[in-house]
Structures are given as structure tokens and as C-alpha cells.
Chain A
Amino acid sequence: ETGVTQSPTHLIKTRGQQVTLRCSSQSGHNTVSWYQQALGQGPQFIFQYYREEENGRGNFPPRFSGLQFPNYSSELNVNALELDDSALYLCASSLAGSDTQYFGPGTRLTVL
């Protein structure tokens, strides 16, 4: 059974640029959630995707957007990057209606 994978591992961007982060769900999982973890903080919920549609969103601006594909993999897109977007971005997959999310290793984004 393959766990949750994320790519890339690290990424450096400059302010104003756009970035796409990718996530492959654990085998059989059809729901993907994204979290942002700033340095020294707990993760914060960005949004969740189920059946290729956004299924809940946290307190993040519209420049944070996502996609889920038919194979349940997902992308997180961030436009007009700001310095405060520097963080570890975590993807978590789950089976719809279950109580447990399984996390990937994360993508470390640095915005200069």
C-alpha cells in the first residue's frame, strides 16, 4: 500500500510568483485535505476536495486554489505569492466519511 506522497520536497519562489504543489493520495482514498504549517505553529486547514470539488475551506484568500483529479490526486495553487506564504504545506488523504486523515511528508515553500 502506497502512502501519501507530495512533490516537490522543497521550493523557493519570489514574491508575486505563482506556485503549484502536488499530492498523490494513499491507495483507495478519495478525499484530500490541504494544510499550511507556518514555522513553530500547528497546521491550519486550507481546503478539502472530494469528488473533484471543493468540500470545505478554511480562512484563506481566493489566491489559494486547488484541484482534484479523477485518480484522486490533487494540486494546490497559490497565486501572487507573499512572504507570509512561506510554510510547510501538508496534504492529507482519507476515505470519505472516515475519521482519520493520513499525512504526506509536506512541501517546504520559501518565498523571498
Chain B
Amino acid sequence: AQSVTQLGSHVSVSEGALVLLRCNYSSSVPPYLFWYVQYPNQGLQLLLKYTSAATLVKGINGFEAEFKKSETSFHLTKPSAHMSDAAEYFCAVSDQYGGSGNTGKLIFGQGTTLQVKP
């Protein structure tokens, strides 16, 4: 069975500082990995995804993530935090992909709340 663990339910950084949100996954097959962001009272917005191409993935709003198979990790980073980055971030793994018309179900971590201090 696949699973995702997000280390740290709350992360606080100063504006302009590096953002690092940690995600480790467990999967018996090559995973598809995603980072979503959720602003208060809104749905989920896709930040970036890893689908077995380049291991360093660039997403929207200056975020990027690196897939490390040896560490089973997919940590999210941004060089310089902005106040508008304050939100809930979810890492997710897909359990299957393609074939038979399926879009794999997403298995989410518990989420990390990012606080950005002025």
C-alpha cells in the first residue's frame, strides 16, 4: 500500500527565508508524486508533479521539488518565502496511473501549514 508522511505539521519562516517542506513516501511501484497548496476556505491547487521524467521538478510560484528514490523523499523548496505563500501544503502519491481509463487515486499526507512572518 502507498502512503505519504509529511514531517512537521507547522513550519514557520521569515519573509525572504528558504522554505523547506518535507515529504517521504512509501510505494511498491514507481510513484507519481504531487504537491498541492490549499489557501483558507479554498480547494487544492496543483503546485508541481513528478511523473518519472526529470527528478528536479519546477512548479508554479517559484516552488520546486526533488525526487530522491534512495531516500524515498520529495521535499518542496522555495528559495525566498513571500507572505502570500502562507497556506496549507499537501504532498500526495498516486497509486496507479493510466490503463483501463483510470486516473490513479491520490493518497495525501496530513499537510503542513506554512506560516510566513514579516
Contact = CB atoms under 8 A, between A and B. Distances in A.
Is B truly associated with A?
Answer: yes
Interface of A: 4, 6, 31, 33, 35, 40-45, 48, 50-51, 55-56, 58, 90, 92, 94-106, 108
B interface secondary structure, majority? strand
B42 A48 contact: no
Chain B, interface size category, equals 20 to 34
Nearest to B107: A45
Contacts of A55: 101-102
Contacts, number: 79
B68 interface: no
Given A56-B105, A105-B43, A99 B51 contact: yes
A103 B110 contact: no
A99 B32 contact: yes
B105 to A, nearest CB: 4
Given A90-B44, A102-B46, A31 B103 contact: yes
Given A48-B102, A97-B103, 13 more contacts: A42-B92, A45-B105, A45-B107, A55-B102, A90-B43, A92-B106, A97-B102, A98-B103, A99-B104, A101-B103, A103-B44, A105-B42, A106-B43
Lowest 9 A-B CB distances belong to which pairs? A42-B108, A96-B101, A103-B44, A103-B43, A94-B103, A45-B105, A105-B43, A97-B98, A106-B43
Contacts of B43: 4, 6, 90, 103-106
